[in-house]
Amino acid sequence: MKTAVVALGGNALLRSGQKGTFSEQMQNVTTTCQALVKLIQQGYSICIGHGNGPQVGNVMLQHEAGKKEFGLPAMPMDFCVAETQGSIGYLIELCLYNELHKAGLTKDVICLLTQVRVDKNDPAFQKPTKPVGPYYTKEEADKYAAETGAIFKEDPKGNGWRKVVPSPTPIEINHVGTILRALVNDNIVITVGGGGIPVVQEEGMYHGVEAVIDKDLASALLASRIGAHSFFILTDVPNVCIRFRKPDEKKLEQITVTEAKKYLADGEFAEGSMAPKIRAALFFLEHGGHECIITEAGMLGQDHAGTRIVKG
């Protein structure tokens, strides 16, 4: 069985300038699923991870409106991640079933609500940096901080103040055995949505935490745990580049782990953009993986598509 994990980027669900309507997301996901079918036709058994940044933001805005208008309590981050795992998973499942039907393929598509364990002592909890949710005035931010203990930071672009949460490193994917059994039985599994529902374990008991997990790193951990051969990271560019958007920009077609580490150390990849994807690729390749391909969805299934990172 040739297994691949495919991490869908945000543009696979919601594109720049869009509002996030149901019809917009359906169209975007349909296009992405058409590309996924190409991989399946090449004999891959696939597991799908996805981002949820814009969708979680919208959910938090809805909660904020409900709190102000009706006094409804806002829900914590782990609940918001679970909510968007279900809604996004439903969209992918629905569209992928339809595209498989068009291609004459019969497979079950399973969306698994997935918890991802983090370490309660992860240093990230002492220094939250990931902005989430709506913007507030300084007065509102101070009020909510006093009421809830949340931390708020001013937006660098001057849009206001936003809540910040930690982004701890994922250490284990719950339900890995279930995922493996589903793949062995020729099912397609949608899992670790939004990086997974962040949980910690204490004395055998699990509970959710206010955090977000990088979806590419969680997908890389998943790929390693299930022994995937290939790891695809889908983004909004066809190739990774060095000297990005400079006159001497260079498109990378195939590089080794050693070369990727050097480019990363040299600052060639921007934080919050390509650098986390490169780190996820390196984690996968250093934990049993064979190849990682970073590209846009439309390039899936094409020979020599995207940037291929291999051992060496």
Question: Reduced to 3 states, what is the DSSP secondary structure of residue 30?
Answer: helix
pLDDT tens digits for range 161-201:
999 999 999 999 999 999 999 999 999 999 999 999 999 99
Confidence of residue 272 (pLDDT cuts 50, 70, 90): confident
> Can you give the pLDDT at residue 11?
66
pLDDT tens digits for range 115-136:
999 999 999 999 999 999 889 9
Question: Cβ(124)–Cβ(211) under 8 Å?
Answer: yes
Q: Which two tokens stand for residue 126?
A: 């002492």
Question: Cβ(48)–Cβ(111) under 8 Å?
Answer: no
Q: Which two tokens stand for residue 59?
A: 């959910």
Q: Which two tokens stand for residue 272?
A: 């919050």
> Can you give the pLDDT at residue 61?
87
Q: Which of 133, 277, 289, 306 is catalytic?
A: 277
Residue 12 confidence (pLDDT) above 80: no
Torsion of CA 140, 142, 143, 148, to 10 degrees: 120
Q: Is residue 11 flagged as an active site residue?
A: yes
> Can you give the pLDDT at residue 9?
83
Q: Which of 10, 53, 89, 194 is catalytic?
A: 10
Q: Is residue 277 flagged as an active site residue?
A: yes
- Mean pLDDT, range 197-222, rounded to an integer: 96
Tell me the torsion sign for CA atoms 71, 75, 81, 86.
negative
Other C-beta atoms within 10 Å of 308: how many? 19
Query: What does CATH list as the number for 2-115+171-310?
Result: 3.40.1160.10
Domain residue spans in the chain? 2-115+171-310
- Mean pLDDT, range 46-64, rounded to an integer: 90
> Can you give the pLDDT at residue 270?
92
User: Rounded to two decimals, what is the model's pTM?
Assistant: 0.94
Nearest to 305 by CA among 253, 233, 234: 253
- Mean pLDDT, range 297-311, rounded to an integer: 89
Q: Which two tokens stand for residue 181?
A: 């059994």
Question: Cβ(145)–Cβ(151) under 8 Å?
Answer: yes
Q: Is residue 10 flagged as an active site residue?
A: yes
Q: Which of 57, 89, 215, 289 is catalytic?
A: 215
Q: Is residue 38 flagged as an active site residue?
A: no
